[in-house]
Each structure stands twice: as structure tokens, then as C-alpha cells.
Structure 1
Amino acid sequence: MSTLKEALAHRRSYYAITNKSLITDSEIEDIVKFAVKNIPSAFNSQTTRVVLLLGEQHLKLWNIVKDTLRKIVSEEAFKATEKKVDTSFAAGYGSVLFFEDRTVVEGLQKAFPTYHEKFPIWSQHTSAMHQLAIWTMLEDAGFGASLQHYNPLIDEAVIAEWGLPENWELVAQMPFGIPLQEPGKKEFNPLEERVRIFK
């Protein structure tokens, strides 16, 4: 197992993945549950909701994506889209769906009106931390993953398919599987332009 710094450093986007796993489904569930339990949130609001889809349930998600996109893009454009979905996302072992609970956010807005405008932003921060944590731990377990955003196009169909609360707002989708190839080289902007230190 990597140190946290090592795991963060090698976390990348993988688009060529297979439907294989080096760990048990139970261990994947533990990764998700660990993140949901331990990732911080503003006011300890715990607004993030996560759905783990494996096997046929994972494939259902990407069929929903294709069915949705087929209705709104040209036939020619859909061919490329379908290939991308089938080879980069549906080909994986599973998917993690990230939601934020609007009811909790709205309750905080009412309880603390001074921060009314900030709670939706802080909610997104919480989701982002969950995404990074789960992504990093999945990769450390041998998976490759990427973060996708087919919301809001698929929101209603996803809520209906899995009987989820309507107040859950879909934020992102993370397909994962064993990588077939290494990711491309990552370019870094100079840290001098991104970090300022005062002593």
C-alpha cells in the first residue's frame, strides 16, 4: 500500500479499463464506506451521498447514458459517443455515483442565514473531497478510474432506476476497472505561479 503522498501523486484519469478486479466487492464497499464516514464537511453537515454500482447495475448506468445521449445528438456524433462510453466507462468493473443531499443544504441555509449563499458551495467542496478520496483509494487498490459528468442529463433516469430520493442531486460519475494501459504524461504548471509562501 502506498503512502498518502505516493497515492495522490500517481492518481490519474484512466480511460482504457476492464471489468476485472484485484480485490473483493466487499473491499470495494469498504473503500466507499470509509470515505463517506471520514471525509470532513462544513458544519459537519455530511451532505454527500454515494451509490456504488457493480456488475449489471454498473452496465445499467452506462446504458442510461447512451439512451439519453442518443435522443439529443446526431446519429453520426452518437457513433463516437457510444464507442467512448462502451470502451472507456461501461467496460469497467463498477461505477461510483456522487450525490449531494439538497434537503440538508437547504436546512443549513435556513438555520444559518448569514451563510445562506455559501452552503451550496461548501456542499460541492465536500463532494469533491469524497471524489478525490475514493478515486485515490481505488487506484491504490489497483484500479484505474476517471470522473465523468453526464448530469444533469441523466439525473431523472438515475433517480428513477434505483429508487433514490429526489432531493439527491447527482454531481459526478466515476467508472473504474483494471487499467489496460498507462495514462499519458501529465503536464504541471509552475508551482511558483500557483503557490505563495510568506515567512
Structure 2
Amino acid sequence: MSNQFLDLITKRRTVYAIGKNVSQSPEYLTDLIQNAIKQSPSSFNSQSSRAVILFNGEHEKFWGFVADKLKSYVKDEESAAKTTAKMASFAAGFGTILFFEDQEVVKGLQAQFPSYAENFPIWAEHSTAMAQFATWTALHTEGLGASLQHYNPIVDEQVHAEWEVPTNWKLRAQLVFGSVEGESRDKDYISDLERFKVFK
């Protein structure tokens, strides 16, 4: 089966070996990222997804925050060295997108539609996931590699303070991206019989 969209998402992979050898400008990539998020669906068209886009020293500063926080969790020198190397590999990239969900939007929908109240936090997670996937795929179409990370909530307080992020924005994930500097891993798939049921 040949389908342009499926071809794109089939080739998108987690890429850990990334660098700063990017031909696109931060301005171009900002426009790309913003449009990918804007065009992502959300429940009740709530548009609850938010993002902070970091380039250059700001991007490196974020991974420095994470590295510093993780030091308090590390119990031996070997683990500390691995953690430091991992954070350095992320900082070696070109940029990071911090994905948030606006909790004021979620609460507003809960108040407006009380019969669905318990579902809106779940649907907000769906919204951010789709925004992350759309953005990741858009970056892939530009020849860039990326990996999705989850170092929230350990750096939430610093993120809000450093970049003046509203308190009602809840950090959900971090997508670090850059030039592709190494091969991505092959992806294995479980059997379709285990995963799908089709009735005709």
C-alpha cells in the first residue's frame, strides 16, 4: 500500500544522535512548529496545547537544568557519568520544544460541560499527544531528527521561572531536535492479529 502520509510517518523515528548542522533558520522552524501545533486537533476545538520553543543558549540552558536536577537522584559515579553524557547529547541538538497543556482551558470546559468534566483532562492528554506527533513528523519532513523526552515534573518550577511560563500551563513533554548525526534503530512490530480486530 502506498500513501504519502503513511510513508512520512513510517520513516519518522526516534533519533538520539543529533547535532547543530541545521540549514533551516530558527524563524523558519518556529513557523513550522507553530503551524503543526495549530493544525493539530483538540477536543471541542479547545486549542489547549501550548509550547515554549528554545534555540541556541536557551535550549542548552534547559538541558543544563535537567542535568543539575538529575544529579540529586544519582547514587554512583558510573550512573552520574551516563546521565551527564545523555544530557550532553540532548544539548548537542539544535532546539527543544516544551509542550504544555493550559489547565485554565481544561477547567473552563469542565465548568461549561459538567457531564463530561472527568474526561477533559484525558482529552487534553490526547490533544498534546497529537500536537507532539504532528510537530515531530513536520520536523522529520525537513530532514531533522528528534526524540521525545519526559523530564517533567522535576524541572517544572525552573521552567516556569526562567521563561515566565504562566502557572496554568502544565508541562507534558520535551521534543529535542537537530541534524541527524547517526542511524536510528529499526522498529519491530507485534503481530496484527494481536493488535487489531476487523469486522465486515
Query: TM-score, normalising length from structure 1?
Result: 0.95
Q: Hey, what's the Cα distance between the residues in 2 that align with 1:22 and 1:144?
A: 13
- Output the aligned Cα RMSD: 1.3
Cα distance per residue 1:143-169 (max 9 Å; x no partner): 100000000111111111101101110
Measured after TM superposition, the shift of residue 36 of structure 1 is 2.2
Map of 1:39 onto structure 2: 40
* Matched-pair identity in %: 45
**Residue type of the partner of 1:180?**
E
Measured after TM superposition, the shift of residue 3 of structure 1 is 2.9
Q: Hey, what's the Cα distance between the residues in 1 that align with 2:165 and 2:198?
A: 45
Measured after TM superposition, the shift of residue 114 of structure 1 is 0.7
**Residue type of the partner of 2:163?**
W
- Whether the 8 Å contact between 1:22 and 1:141 is mirrored in structure 2 is no
Map of 1:166 onto structure 2: 167
- Whether the 8 Å contact between 1:18 and 1:177 is mirrored in structure 2 is yes
SS at match of 2:177: strand
- Whether the 8 Å contact between 2:37 and 2:134 is mirrored in structure 1 is no
- Whether the 8 Å contact between 1:36 and 1:130 is mirrored in structure 2 is yes
SS at match of 1:61: helix
Map of 1:80 onto structure 2: 82
Query: TM-score, normalising length from structure 2?
Result: 0.95
Q: Hey, what's the Cα distance between the residues in 2 that align with 1:135 and 1:145?
A: 7
**Residue type of the partner of 2:82?**
A
Map of 1:107 onto structure 2: 108
Map of 2:62 onto structure 1: 61
Q: Hey, what's the Cα distance between the residues in 1 that align with 2:119 and 2:140?
A: 32
Map of 1:133 onto structure 2: 134
**Residue type of the partner of 2:112?**
A
Cα distance per residue 1:17-56 (max 9 Å; x no partner): 1112132222211211112221111011111001110011
SS at match of 2:69: helix
Q: Hey, what's the Cα distance between the residues in 2 that align with 1:166 and 1:75?
A: 35
**Cα–Cα, structure 1 residues 6 and 22, in superposed 2: closer, same or farther, change >3 Å?**
farther
Q: Hey, what's the Cα distance between the residues in 2 that align with 1:112 and 1:78?
A: 48
Map of 1:71 onto structure 2: 72
- Whether the 8 Å contact between 1:147 and 1:174 is mirrored in structure 2 is yes
SS at match of 1:118: helix
- Whether the 8 Å contact between 1:17 and 1:179 is mirrored in structure 2 is yes
Which runs of no fewer than 5 residues in structure 2 stay unpaired? none
Once structures 1 and 2 are overlaid, which stretch shifts more, 48-57 or 189-198? 189-198
SS at match of 1:164: coil
Q: Hey, what's the Cα distance between the residues in 2 that align with 1:191 and 1:96?
A: 33
Aligned residue pairs, count: 197
- Whether the 8 Å contact between 1:22 and 1:142 is mirrored in structure 2 is no
Cα distance per residue 1:35-79 (max 9 Å; x no partner): 222111101111100111001110011001011111232252222
Does residue 124 (structure 1) correspond to residue 125 (structure 2)? The answer is yes
**Residue type of the partner of 2:84?**
E
Measured after TM superposition, the shift of residue 185 of structure 1 is 1.3
SS at match of 1:124: helix
Map of 1:181 onto structure 2: 182
